Amino acid sequence: MMKKKLAVFELTDCGGCALNILFLYERLFDVLEFYEIEEFHMASSLGDGGEHFDVALVTGTVSSHRDLALLKEARNRSDYLIALGTCATHGCLQASVELPLKEKLKAVYGDESNPMRALDPKPVVEYVAVDLAIPGCPYDKGELFQALMDIAKGIEPVRPDYPVCIECKLNEYECVLVKKGLPCLGPITLGGCNAACIRSGLGCIGCRGPLPGEVNPAGEFEVLKELGYGEEYIVRKFKTFARWEP
């Protein structure tokens, strides 16, 4: 069987999403049974040979003209492009800072000049068409592994379409919103993480972004207000990863 060609492109982010690929540990060897990694700067200095890729993973936000050029290159050189991590799918923390770019530059550097040709951070999905989006900060490694295995076998990966609350019920976790009054965005956040935060006794922080389709953030907003949380605090919770408007 001829192996598929895989590439990893890293835009502006903390580097955690690319590192998370290496944290597949022994499952990475299973991936290598089906893929030849042609480009992955965090793991190898090889690459940039102009190859065409069967699958490309793109992490981070488009925060500079360099990012934008690299993203377009990844799209043009790949058959199947995956936006990996919440920076790539929703903008994450970088895009949650809402000051205009010139004000950010002035606050940090003292003037509004832009020699690094920075852009307001935006997710990958706002610039190019993607074939699959895997959110999470960080994303669930098992979800990425399963997606790569499915693609290698000619199967379209499953896309979660349910809230985190479903995973709480399947795992029989106690509802921290109802039982403990903790701020939890599980009812309006896309599932797929196996309710990792709730498993640790915390409320869902919404790192996988909003559940597509019929979701009621306004209702969640009112529930949190009734529990005694201030409006400013709730708005910050909503906007941290996906810039939601309650």
Per-residue pLDDT tens over the stretch 201-225? 999 999 999 988 778 888 999 999 9
- Rounded mean pLDDT of the chain? 92
**Boundary residue ending a domain (152, 176, 204):** 152
Which position has the higher pLDDT, 50 or 93? 93
C-alpha–C-alpha distance, residues 83 and 131, integer Å: 8
Instruction: Name which of 4-8, 11-15, 87-91, 105-109 the model is least confident about.
Output: 105-109
Which position has the higher pLDDT, 111 or 154? 154
Give the contacts of 133 (CB within 8 A, at least 6 positions apart): 82, 83, 88, 89, 125
In this structure, is residue 62 part of a structural domain? yes
* Six token digits for residue 68: 């934008």
CA distances to 12, 63, 208, 212 from 107, rounded to whole Å, are: 20, 17, 30, 35
Q: How confident is the model at residue 243 (pLDDT cuts 50, 70, 90)?
A: confident
Closest CA to 112 of 104, 121, 120, 102: 102
Assess whether 23 and 134 both reside in one domain: yes
Domain membership of residue 231 as a residue range: 164-242
In this structure, is residue 79 part of a structural domain? yes
Is 163 a residue whose pLDDT tops 90?
yes
pLDDT at 38: 93
* Six token digits for residue 35: 């893929």
Assess whether 19 and 138 both reside in one domain: yes
pLDDT at 49: 67
**Boundary residue ending a domain (110, 132, 152):** 152
In this structure, is residue 199 part of a structural domain? yes
Contact (Cβ atoms closer than 8 angstroms) between residue 76 and residue 28 = no
